[in-house]
Every structure is written in C-alpha cells, then in structure tokens.
Amino acid sequence: MAQELTGAEIVIKALVDQGVDTIFGYPGGAVLPIYDALFQQNKIRHILVRHEQGAVHAAEGYARSTGKPGVVLVTSGPGATNAVTGLTDALMDSIPIVCLTGQVATHLIGSDAFQECDTVGITRHCTKHNWLVKSPQELTRVMHEAFYVATHGRPGPVVIDIPKDVQFQKGEYTGPQNVVHRTYRPKVKGDIEKIKQAVDLIANAKKPVFYTGGGIINSGTVASQLLREFVRLTGYPITSTLMGLGAYPASDKQWLGMLGMHGTFEANNAMHDCDVLINIGARFDDRVTGRLDAFAPHSKKIHVDIDASSINKNVRVDIGIIGDCAHVLEDMLRIWKSKARRPDKDALSAWWKQIEAWRARKSLSFKTNDDIIKPQQAIQRLYELSKHRETYITTEVGQHQMWAAQHFPFEQPNRWMTSGGLGTMGYGFPAAIGVQIAHPDALVIDIAGEASIQMCIQELSTAVQFMLPVKIFIINNEYMGMVRQWQELLHEGRYSHSYSDSLPDFVKLAEAYGATGIRASKPSELDDAIKRMIEVPGPVILDCVVDKFENCYPMIPSGAAHNEMILGDDAEGATVSEEGKMLV
Amino acid sequence: MKKDETIERHTIAVLVDNEAGVLARVIGLFSGRGYNIESLTVAEVDQAEHTSRITIVTVGTPMVIEQIKAQLDRLVPVHRVMDLTVEANSVEREMALVKVAGTGERRVEALRLADAFRARVIDTTHTSFIFEVTGAPTKIDAFIGLMRPLGLVDVSRTGVVAIARGPEAM
C-alpha cells in the first residue's frame, strides 16, 4: 500500500524495510533532511565516522563479516569525493555497499554551487551502478533497486545521489516486494553440460589443484561447506587467493596455503605443474598468475565465476562456467556422486608426494632471536594467543598484510577482511570498526603497519565514542616495508621516501584519543603485551616494534613464473627482469 | 598457449534502458578499459518502453571482442548485447551529408558522380551542394574520396547502424 512521505522519510523507511540496522556516515548541508529523519527514529543506528573514506571501509568490514550489504550516508561534494577510494575498493573486491550521497538542490545542479560535484559522473567508474534521483516519485524504486543491484550477481558498491529538495518533497513509498528490476537478472545456475564436462575433467586429473577465491566467501557459508565437501571427496590439494582465505580450513592437510606473489612454495609449484586447474570464484588476478605465458602451462583450466567478463579476461580457460559458486558446487557434487566418480588413486598419491617435497622446503620459515621481534613471529604469537576466541582479522596494505595472510591461519569464512584488489592503505582500521559493530562480542584485530595506520587513524575517535574494543596491532618497522622491499629488488636499495620519519609515539597517541597504548620491543615482552591488548576493555593500540629489515618471502618477482620463486633463505642478490620492472 | 592476435572488426548492437548516463557508461567502459570505438550511434527505438539501441563498431583481438561483449552485458541498464558480426547475418548502413563547393566543370562532375552513387541533393546554392548519401561505410568512404578533388568542404557521418536479417527481433 502506497503512502506519502518526504524523500528523507522514504530513504529511512526503505533502509528499514531492507533490513538495515546500522549505517556509517558523516553529516553535511546536503544531507541534513535525511539526518533529521534519522534523529526522529530508533530502528537504525548511525555510526559517526571521522572521514568519509572511513565510513565506506567500515561498511565494507560490516558487509564482509556478515554477508549483508553495508550502508553509507555522506554529504555532497567533498563527502562524496572522500568516499571514492572506499567505493573503488569495494568494486575491486566485490563488496556490496549502498552509498547514499546528498546533492545540491535540483535547480542548482550544474551551477557550481557550494559543495556541488558531479557525483554520478565521478562515481560511475567506481560503482557497479549509480543513480541521480531527480524526483521523490523515483526514490522508492531506486532505493530498493540499489539493494538488489548491490547484492545480486557479482556484488559491488552502488551510489544513490539525492538532491536536497528531493529529500524535502513528498512522494509515494512502496515496499521492496513490488520492485522488479527491468534489466538486471544475473545468472546463478551454471550450464549443466559444462558442469558435467568439468566433473569428467576433474575426475580424470592426474595432478589437479583447486584454486579458489573471494567468490566462495561472497556466495555465502553454504558455498564454503560445499567446497569443503567436494575437496575432501576428491582428496585433491587446494590453494586460495588472498580474498578467499577461510573458505577452506587452514588446518586441513589438503590445504596448501595461499598462492600468488607471496604464496607458499607448494601452492605455486602445484599451480605451475598441475594438469587440471579448478578455479572457483577467483579471477586470475596478476598477483596470482605472475607471468601469464608461463602460468599453469600444462593444465586444462576450469573457471567458475558469476561474472561472465571474468572468464577468459586474463587467462584463456577450457571450461568457463557462469554461475554462483554455491549453485555450481552443488551441481558438481551431485554429478560426482551420481556417477560414482573416483579420483585416480595412484596418480594422486604421486602428486601428493611431489607436493610434500615442495612443502618440506618450509617456505614460510624465518629465524628468530632474543633481541628483536620478527614480524612473522609477532603474527604467529597473535594467532596462538587469540585462536581460542571468536577472532576477526582486518589488515592494512603492505608487508604486514602478506605476513598476516601467511602466518595467521583461518578456519572459517568471513573472518578475514583485507583490501585485495585496490590495495588501500588505511582500509584495515575502519573495516575493523565495521566488523566490531556487527559482532560486538568478538575479538576484532587490525593487523597494521606504522605507515598504513596513519592513513585512517582519525577513526580512533569513532572507536572511543562507540566503545568499540577494536585492537590495532602495529607491525612497526619504521618503513613502508613493501615499498622498501621493491626498492631493494628494483632500484639497488635506493630508499626513496620509504622511511617512516617523524612517527608519532603510538602509545601516547592512543592515550590522547582516550584509548589504551601498549608497546612491545623485545621478544620477551611480546606475549604479555598481546595478552594485555586482548584483555584491556576498549580500543587498544599495540605498537609492536619489529626487525626493520625483514622482507616478505617467499616471493614471485614481477614478470616471473610460479616456479621461479625467491625463497627467504636465498633472497640475497635476487633481481627482477627488465620486463618485470615495468609491472607493479 | 598461443594467443590469437588477429585483429577483427565487429559490429555490436546493444539494447539499453534509456536512462540518464547510459551512453556515458558505455563510452566510459571503452575508454576506461582501452577498447577502440570506430563508430557509435545511439537513439531511442521504443518510446513506450524507453529503450535505446546503441550500435558500436569496434576492432580488437577475439579475446578483446569477447571481453567487450561481456563487459557491456554486465552493465546494469543493458537488456541485450548482440554481436551482429558473428551471431547473425546482418545489414549495415551509414548515412552522410557531404558538402561540396565549386563552380563550372567540377560542379557538373560532382553532380554526375553523386547520381552514380544515388546520392541526393538536399541543399544547393550557386556555388555548393549538400549531398545525402546512404550505404555501407566503404561506399561512403569511396564517395567522399571522389568528392575531395571536386571541392569537398565538409562531411557529417552518422556512424553505422545495423540490424540482423530475417524475421526475428534482437
């Protein structure tokens, strides 16, 4: 039944009807009517961030850890432009976000009014879709369509730009049940003939490997369960991208660890030598493939992806299946069982023997000593001291992120939030705030670097205001470590502007915000510091002072193949090809 | 694995919802991902349904062409993408307005050639003609080439429109 409401009321009502309980935002002139409507209700909780980029990352953390869309509310002009980094991040990592932006009144659009910018123009390239709502009559449809588009098919961010006069004017409101999208109907069921072919190929493989990604996480926990069942049924090895960690339990013996640029020796060599590669919900990203013409060169490739444009984009595959991971896995399992398929036992045991030989290289190993904390050691201790809890990890971007991916094992999906595609420094802390909002009783830790954390440190104020016990675990090596590592590899160790000079005292910084600050400088202090960080109520910064010159290995240098990894113990003097230098 | 590097020319028809910004989305996709546009035409084709049809002529390797179609197809306001070069036997037409200025023998020759190309004179002064010529892009290229020494001063081309042969709709 239709009812007349103001545009601002329509926005709130639609959010409630879409099941939204929390939004992340920052007020301003062009969204005042919506903020006024928010003030007069109590169904939606508003988390006031300190910068709009933080709002989007927080919404991403909320979305990634719950499977529900994250909602953002910001004002026009700088509010919208500050959100752009977060939106791009969500687009690259396929995170469902509905971002509402205020806009100047319709009659002012195009006049260079105060805090006006072409929001739909600017965000067209960093959203899955966006709308400028020019009348309150369109608002109800657009609101519901926005949630549908953000969450269906390959998830992604959407922007609804709402001029201020539209927020005041009255229009009809109808519930979400009456909205059917005119054009957008993504396919979730895979082509059954192709799935049958894929199962045949999988069953006849001699040296198979599963390569899974964030698509499994996005598809939901059912996809994770189906994946586990299928992988165990086959007995095949499995590796995953950065975004897919947790979909398959890291403690399982079939798990090879992460693959790609900083993946394990066994995962990358298995990828290189495999004869059947089963990609489910990953997108052959350049961090994963390395040199394309030497990528899994002897393999038949199967690719399951909900986005048809991901198939055959970077790597040509033999069987491309367009569909949702859970649906396709369900069909694969059913067909596998009904045809009573069995893996080739002899071939498989030879393959595992080879893999165990690679695994015996212990490519993630590192040397500890009594004087200085090794970054990998810090993360391993963090894991050991938090594994019995309901723990969620977010990260910033750089060496600490890769060490976290390598040394913090995950048993469940949705516990690992990181900026994979865009590589956004400043992501982790606001994302942790979003995770903590969604899981108030969980232990939420942002594994950070001393450089990254400064990109969204202002959100410490948010954490204190909302009493969010987020823990910031800073791996402090006084360098933009990954930049420095590449300068060593590519530019003969000329550390151009990669030293983190004039660092704040992070303990005092935490205290200045009203949080708790702790420092650990020696291996002997590490465990106590971590325990205290976990036990102290409220937000905590643990400034973990680590070895300044430790680098992240193993590594596939850019422009190299999977079987040309640099391992930590022979990294001295490693170089990059001239071609590789052109790559990032 | 050897990649097929042959460059192909494809004509792609895209049926879209005629909403604000839809053309910018399509063009932005081509510029953002580094694809080529040889020609692009757009107009509303169904007023009641608010649908527009975009015809794009593009060139690229088979892998790029496949990407272009997949990328177009995932745009939210897109109803359907059809590769008229592979999915159908199709006809292509383009229209051009060609202004030729001159007097005397050159003027007579321009008129004579226009007749051979079935170009119509749609405006004339004592010193100029505007011809309307319709046909495949190669025919228009040929006509413009012939007019060049005869006093060609201005050309306006529509770009290619195309449609599949036979009784079926897109």
- Provide the mean pLDDT of chain B: 95
Contacts of residue A439, defined as CB under 8 A and 6 or more positions apart, other chains included, come to A65, A390, A392
Give the number of residues written for chain B: 170
The residue among A178 and A408 whose pLDDT is bigger is: A408
Please tell me which residue of chain A has the smallest CA distance to B61: A313
**8 Å CB contact of B76 and A149:** yes
**Alpha-carbon distance A103 to A88, whole Å?**
20
Q: How confident is the model at residue A582 (pLDDT cuts 50, 70, 90)?
A: confident
Give the Å distances, CA to CA, from A82 to A26, A71, A163. Answer: 11, 15, 18
Residue of B20, B66, B78 lying closest to A312 (CB–CB): B66
Residue of B20, B32, B74 lying closest to A307 (CB–CB): B74
- pLDDT tens across A83-94, in order? 999 999 999 999
The lowest-confidence range among A2-6, A183-187, A438-442 is: A2-6
> Which of A131, A133, A184, A291 is the best mutation test for B, with the most CBs of B within 10 A?
A184
**Alpha-carbon distance A224 to A411, whole Å?**
11
**Alpha-carbon distance A17 to A144, whole Å?**
9
Nearest to A54 by CA among A493, A353, A460, A422: A460
Is the pLDDT at A571 greater than 90? The verdict is no
In B, which residues are within 8 Å of A313 by CB distance?
67, 70
Which H helix or E strand runs over B109?
A: helix B104-116
Is the pLDDT at B158 greater than 80? The verdict is yes
Is B126 touching A (CB cutoff 8 A)? no
Buried b / exposed e along B83-104 (16+ C-beta atoms within 10 A) = bbbeebebebebbbbbbbbbee
Q: Smallest CA–CA separation between A186 and chain B, in Å?
A: 8
**8 Å CB contact of A184 and B76:** yes
Nearest to A555 by CA among A406, A407, A446, A353: A406
Is the pLDDT at A97 greater than 80? The verdict is yes
DSSP alpha helix (H) spans, A208-344: 214-219, 221-234, 265-273, 286-289, 325-338
Indicate the SS3 state at residue B144: helix
Q: Which residue has the tokens 């961030």?
A: A49
**8 Å CB contact of A309 and B74:** yes
Q: Which residue has the tokens 């990894």?
A: A565
**8 Å CB contact of B76 and A309:** no
**Alpha-carbon distance A60 to A66, whole Å?**
10
**8 Å CB contact of A132 and B74:** no
Residue of A124, A183, A311 lying closest to B78 (CB–CB): A183
Is B157 touching A (CB cutoff 8 A)? no
The lowest-confidence range among A171-175, A340-344, A509-513 is: A340-344
- pLDDT tens across B110-119, in order? 999 999 999 9
Residue of A124, A132, A308 lying closest to B70 (CB–CB): A308
Report pLDDT for A1: 54
Contacts of residue B29, defined as CB under 8 A and 6 or more positions apart, other chains included, come to B35, B71, B72, B75
What angle in degrees, to the nearest 10, is found between the helix axes of A375-386 and A399-407? Answer: 50
Q: Smallest CA–CA separation between B71 and chain A, in Å?
A: 6
The first and second tokens of residue A244, run together, are 């897919």
Contacts of residue A333, defined as CB under 8 A and 6 or more positions apart, other chains included, come to A226, A229, A230, A233
The residue among A516 and B5 whose pLDDT is bigger is: A516
Is the pLDDT at B100 greater than 70? The verdict is yes
Report pLDDT for A577: 83
**8 Å CB contact of B1 and A182:** no
Q: How confident is the model at residue B3 (pLDDT cuts 50, 70, 90)?
A: low
The first and second tokens of residue A108, run together, are 């002012």
- pLDDT tens across A127-172, in order? 999 999 999 999 999 999 999 999 999 999 999 999 999 999 999 9
Average pLDDT over residues A403-423: 98
Is the pLDDT at B2 greater than 60? The verdict is no
Q: Smallest CA–CA separation between A308 and chain B, in Å?
A: 6
Percent of chain A with pLDDT over 90: 95
**Alpha-carbon distance A259 to A277, whole Å?**
13
**8 Å CB contact of B76 and A316:** no
* DSSP output for A408-476: S--SSTTSEE---SS--TT-HHHHHHHHHHH-TTSEEEEEEETTGGGGSGGGHHHHHHTT---EEEEEE
Is B17 touching A (CB cutoff 8 A)? yes
Contact A47, A462 (CB under 8 A): yes
ipTM above 0.90, yes or no: yes
Indicate the SS3 state at residue A487: helix
**Alpha-carbon distance B38 to B58, whole Å?**
5
- pLDDT tens across A366-375, in order? 999 999 999 9
Is the pLDDT at A96 greater than 80? The verdict is yes
Is the pLDDT at B33 greater than 80? The verdict is yes
Nearest to A434 by CA among A66, A15, A39: A66
**8 Å CB contact of B24 and A316:** no
Contact A311, A305 (CB under 8 A): yes
Report pLDDT for B54: 98
Is the pLDDT at B1 greater than 60? The verdict is no
**Alpha-carbon distance A374 to A359, whole Å?**
22
Indicate the SS3 state at residue A94: coil
Nearest to A531 by CA among A406, A381, A407: A381
Average pLDDT over residues B27-36: 95
Is the pLDDT at A558 greater than 90? The verdict is no
**8 Å CB contact of B21 and A183:** no
Phi, psi (rounded to 5 degrees) for A288 = -95, -40
List residues of A with catalytic annotation: 52, 114-115, 164, 482
Residue of B3, B67, B73 lying closest to A313 (CB–CB): B67
The lowest-confidence range among A183-187, A320-324, B4-8 is: B4-8
Q: Smallest CA–CA separation between A97 and chain B, in Å?
A: 16
Phi, psi (rounded to 5 degrees) for A56 = -70, -45
Q: Which residues of A touch B (CB under 8 A)?
A: 120-121, 124-125, 128-130, 132, 149, 153-154, 182-184, 293, 297, 307-309, 311-313, 316
**Alpha-carbon distance A140 to A194, whole Å?**
40
In A, which residues are within 8 Å of B16 by CB distance?
183
- Provide the mean pLDDT of chain A: 96
Fill in the DSSP letter of residue A373.
Answer: B
In B, which residues are within 8 Å of A184 by CB distance?
76-77
Phi-psi region for residue A296, left (φ > 0), alpha (ψ -120 to 50) or beta? left
Residue of A124, A149, A153 lying closest to B25 (CB–CB): A124
Contact A474, A429 (CB under 8 A): no
- pLDDT tens across A473-512, in order? 999 999 999 999 999 999 999 999 999 999 999 999 999 9
